[in-house]
Amino acid sequence: MGAETLEVLKRRKQHRLASGVVQRNALWAAGTGFVPIPVLDSAATVAVQLKMLAELSDVYGVAFNKSSGKSVIAALTACITSGVLGRALLGTGIFSNIAKVMPVVGSTLSIVTMPGFNAAFTYALGRVFQQHYAAGGTMADFDAQKAEADFRRKFKEGLKFDQDEKTA
């Protein structure tokens, strides 16, 4: 086998491993949406997302920095909630955390909205980083503003992914 063939096989293996990491962590993130305690659910979701970024970094041999990971998650949260808030407040993590404080109705709304939002967000985050790392990027050179449009597309894909998982 030539060097080119080995490189293609390496990239395919990385893609396969990274896709598994993203799908597995998106499902874990959906599970965090069922945590009934407002701040604890968000902390659990961010922990899953940081774990996913660390795993993706390992797959691509890229150095992982936890504080940079938190910054990226915060930046992408701001990007997605700014667009989502205007169209569907009920689907955002912000509303669900506020709603959890309201007895019965709030918890019900949260359980309906948070798993899908968490899964879609985590899926989008993972896919964007999978592409970034595959293109030779690092955690240090990730630009959330440049990735925003792709992140929004991946978020919509993630909402479909979550629906597909529920029906499977």
pLDDT of residue 154: 94
pLDDT of residue 85: 43
Radius of gyration of the chain (CA): 17
Q: Could you state, in chain order, the average pLDDT of each consecutive group of 10 residues for the chain (168 residues)?
A: 88 96 96 85 94 98 95 87 49 51 53 83 96 96 93 90 54
State how far the Cα of 93 lies from the Cα of 80, in Å rounded to an integer: 10
pLDDT of residue 111: 59
Neighbouring residues of 168: CB distance < 8 A, sequence distance ≥ 6:
none
pLDDT of residue 33: 87
pLDDT of residue 87: 43
Cα-based distances in Å from 25 to 10, 45, 108, 118: 22, 10, 24, 10
